[in-house]
Every structure is written in C-alpha cells, then in structure tokens.
Amino acid sequence: MSATDTLSDALADLEAMLAAGRAAFEGSPTPEALEARRVEFLGQKHGRVRAAQERLKALDAAAKRVYGQQFNAAKAELEATFETAKARLQRRTTDTTALDVTLPGIPTRLGHRHPLTQTADELIDLFGRFGFAVARGPEVEDTYHNFDALNIPPTHPARDPLDNFYLAVGGGPTGAAQAGHCMLRSQTSTVQIRVMTAQAPPVRVIAIGRVYRPDTVDATHSFMFHQVEGLMVDRGVTMADLKSVLRLFAQSYLGQDVRIRFRPSFFPFTEPSVEVDMLWHGGVRWVEMGGAGMVDPNVLRAVGYDPEEVTGFAFGLGIERLCMRRHGIDDIRLLYQNDVRFLRQF
C-alpha cells in the first residue's frame, strides 16, 4: 500500500465521518439524543474525531500536513455544528414563543347558533315576510302587564302563587312597590300590552322570548321556555285573517303538507279563543302549538284603543314545541343542557 493510497483513504474516511457527524447533530430531536451523539463523535477518549486524529500517526510527513489541515477543519466544523444544534434545542425547551412552522396546524372548530335561536331567527324571518315587526318586553314584569291589562281578574286561578314566580321585591315599571306585584312573566302576551300602550293602531308585531312557570321538569316541561307572540290590530281584522296567517306560517315553517286545526277554547284576553293544533308528515297525532283568538274588547279598552273602531287577533305559540317537532327532538331538556355532541347536529 503506497503512502498516497493511505492518504486518500484517510481523507475519504474523514469526509464520511464529517458527514455522519453533521447529520447526527442536526438530526438530534432532544438534548439527551444530542449528548449521546456528542460522546460518539467528540468524546475525548473513544470519539470518532479522536480516532480520525490517530490516523495521522501512520502518515508520512507530506501526507501529515495535508491530512492535518483537513482534520483540523473537519473537527472545527463538527464542534460548531454541535454548538448550533445545542442552542436550537435549548431554544425549543425554554422559549415557549418559538414557532415551529413545520408542525401540523390545529384546525379551528366553528360554532353555530343554538337550535332554539335558529328557530327564533326563522320565525322572525317568516313573520317579517308577512309584515310583522319584532317587539320586545322585559322578563321581569309587573302583575298589571301579566294579568290585569290582559283581562285576567284578581281572583283568577292563573294568578295562583303556586303557578307563578312572584318576586319578593317590587318597583316595576308601573311603580308598584309591593311584594307580589313583580314576577317573572308567565307569558309573552305581556308584550301585547306594552306595544299597544306605546303606539296607536295599526299594529302588526311578534314578540319572542322566555317565559317562566314553576313546572316540574320532565321530557316535555321546563320552568323556563320560549314563546312567540303575535298581534295584529287594525280596522276590520277578523278571525279569517288569524286563520290564514297561522296556516301560512305553518306551511312555510313545516311544509306544504301540514294541516292545521282550531279548537274552541278560552283565554281571558281573547274572545272567541281557540287552541291551534298541527298535523304533518301524514301523522296521526295532532300536536298543540299554542293559543290564539280575537283580542278581547276589554284588552283594547285597557290600552286606550276603541273596540268600535279596531279589532285584532293574537296568538302565542311554544317555540320549543316547534323546534322539537321540526327536528324530531323528543326531550326538551336536551335544548338546555348545552352538550355540544347534541348541539353539533343542528
């Protein structure tokens, strides 16, 4: 073996060692892995750099000079590569703001509106197309708006403390400051009074909101639920208008095949009064959606309207009912639990 062969062998081995060391340092994923690679290459006694240095001894003077230069450069480069890798790993463990742009992204999960909110928005849209504006009223009401103005006499069983959430504090909008005069509204019909007190006829509004009744919670009852109230007052409004508006609404909301039925009923604030049932998808069971009727002259008088001049119809429907029928939900409690596994389906 000539001296030249030995030199070229040594140089080739040095080159290979340098490449391996570079890859090992740059590819170390953790400080521990890097330390193991440091010992392998830069270890004082048995390191591969140390072994490459030993090759000098076997070379002649001229080859020593050439190899020595290459060796020093290779060693310096490996040490520098090691320091760079060490700094990189330290940054990753101590600097939490460091951004690794190679990591896969975290997809953002988009939320959406609650099914009840979707139903309410749809109602606003549908009745809006029939010319109904949106009105609002407070959830903490006084007994005047919840009962008196709606022609519900002081002795009426609907006022029973066991059927209402009366509040111990007074001071409602009418100034009633006695305990028992304030309550959580039990119906959105209160908004009829507020709207008519505030404006002259004609009136065409819906009101959507929460109502409260101390019912025991089960699959179809809750102590809080939502109603949509409708009110139309003008010259010459008749029961036929009520029936067409409700039928049009039912067909728009539930489909053309829906059937709607009116059963005679009684509400103190309407005369005549009806209960509204709906049947759809060729079903066999009529489902009650709420109450309706022609606004009682006593109610019109209570808000300063002249019942000889104008007439009106009103209706109140349960929003949970509509939403549950539409989506095939069989337990009202699902609507209030806010379990995303349920909500995600709508």
Amino acid at position 290, single letter:
G
**Which of the stretches 247-255, 287-295, 302-310, 335-343 binds ligand DAH when contact is defined by CB under 6 A?**
287-295
Q: At what angle do helices 115-129 and 239-254 cross, to 10 degrees?
A: 130
Alpha carbon distance 50, 40 (integer Å): 10
User: How many angstroms separate the Cα of 93 from the Cα of each of 37, 82, 90, 100, 262?
Assistant: 19, 17, 5, 12, 72
Cα-Cα-Cα-Cα dihedral sign, residues 272, 273, 278, 283 = negative
7-15, 23-31, 94-102, 312-320 -> range binding ligand DAH (CB under 6 A) = 312-320
HSE-CB for 324 with a 13 A CA cutoff: 21
- Residue 209 binds ligand DAH, judged by CB under 6 A: no
Q: Who contacts 66 (Cβ-Cβ below 8 Å, separation ≥6)?
A: 7, 11
- Closest CB to ligand DAH among 147 and 253? 147
Check: CB of residue 207 under 8 Å from CB of residue 139: no
Binding region for ligand DAH (CB under 6 A) out of 101-109, 127-135, 137-145, 311-319: 311-319
- Which CB, 170 or 268, lies closer to ligand DAH? 268
Q: How many residues does the chain have?
A: 346
CA distance 304 to 291: 24
- CA angle, residues 158, 159, 163, in degrees to nearest 5: 75
Applying CB under 6 A, which of residues 67, 225, 249, 267 lies at the interface with ligand DAH? 267
Smallest gap from residue 238 Cβ to ligand DAH (A): 14
Q: Choose between 119 and 151: whose C-beta lies nearer to ligand DAH.
A: 151
Q: Is 222 in the site for ligand DAH (CB under 6 A)?
A: no
Interface residues for ligand DAH in 229-248 (CB under 6 A)? 229
Question: Judged by CB under 6 A, does residue 151 bind ligand DAH?
Answer: no
- By C-beta, is 213 or 327 nearer to ligand DAH? 213
DSSP notation for 189-248: THHHHHHHHHSPSPEEEEEEEEEE--PPPSSS--SEEEEEEEEEEETT--HHHHHHHHHH
Q: How far is the CB of 111 from ligand DAH (least distance, A)?
A: 32
Residue 2 has which token pair? 């000539």
**Size of interface with ligand DAH, in residues (CB under 6 A):** 12
Judged by CB under 6 A, which of 132, 144, 147, 315 binds ligand DAH? Answer: 315
Q: Assess 291 for contact with ligand DAH (CB under 6 A).
A: yes
Q: Does 201 interact with ligand DAH (rule: CB under 6 A)? A: no
Per-residue mark of binding to ligand DAH, 77-116 (x: CB under 6 A): ----------------------------------------
Closest distance to ligand DAH from the beta carbon of 296 (Å): 9
Q: For residues 3 and 60, is the Cβ–Cβ distance under 8 A?
A: yes
Site string for ligand DAH, 155-194 (x = CB under 6 A): --------------------------------x-x-----
Nearest approach, Cβ of residue 344 and ligand DAH (Å): 32
CA atoms within 13 A of residue 292's CA, in its CB half-sphere: 31
Structure tokens of 87? 């700094």
Which C-beta is closer to ligand DAH: that of 14 or that of 302?
302
Residues lying near ligand DAH in the complex (CB under 6 A) are found at 187, 189, 229, 267, 270, 290-293, 314-316
